[in-house]
Chains A and B, each alone.
Chain A
Amino acid sequence: MDELDLLKKDWQSDDSRNETKLSVKEIYPMMHKKSSSIVKTLFYISIAELLFWLVLNLYPYFASDKYREELAVMYGNSTMLLALSILSSLVIVVFVFLLFKSYKSISVTDSAKKLMENILNTRKIIKYYVIYSLVMAFVSVIIGIYYTLYHNPEVSKQFAEFSDKQMFVATTLMVLFTLVFILVFWLFYRIIYGILLKRLNRNYNELKKLEV
């Protein structure tokens, strides 16, 4: 007899084995408990990320008048700053829409493979959002450094005493520092998602391997 058939016989004959048979009364409260599913965690992380970058984007408008003026000087005029903020807010709206659509497509009644694909797709949207935010952060820091060095009267005066070589070293260091900072951020994201989706990725790859 095939081993699995022996197991099947036992498996199907043991309907009464469950010593933990739950009553209707015990099931009721279970239905309304909070889910701790991967999708829910992913949802909270994406909301946190959207809010984090949104607050960072809007920061200049909540900051002091003086800081806003300084920023306006740096960017040449405040219209430029406003345009940039509107653009980034628009990008956020697009990402929120895509995320919403993606979350709606996740259904526990799909096949296992389809369900995994939809979750991984949602994760991809969050990933693109994070990449976009990090690139934007990097670009704005670089623009910030450039304008501070060349357009901020006080800072330019100090740097004017620097030789070309010193200036080059200082700029390179600042860029490198920003780059490292951004990379650390990226690594942090990778670790969070890596831990969260490790099992899902493994199972998805196992299913995909079958189709090759």
Chain B
Amino acid sequence: MLSSDEIKQRIEAAIPGAEAEVEDYTGGSDHFRATVTAEAFEGLSRVQQHRLVYGVLEGEIGGAIHALALKTRTPSKINTP
């Protein structure tokens, strides 16, 4: 089982400069919501940005993590939709 803190730490450790907000939205330690802001996403498509995050959690998605609702942002785009 993973906690939202562990997921946050893993993402932030693996993606340089990333800031992650992770929420366990059912309280069951298996459905999470994450918003990740990182300079490293600059110039990448949304699909590529999400792949980076999924890559960090490889093997956990579909396993310990049943669902991860993900939003990715670059620091310059935090305030744009």
A, B in one complex: no
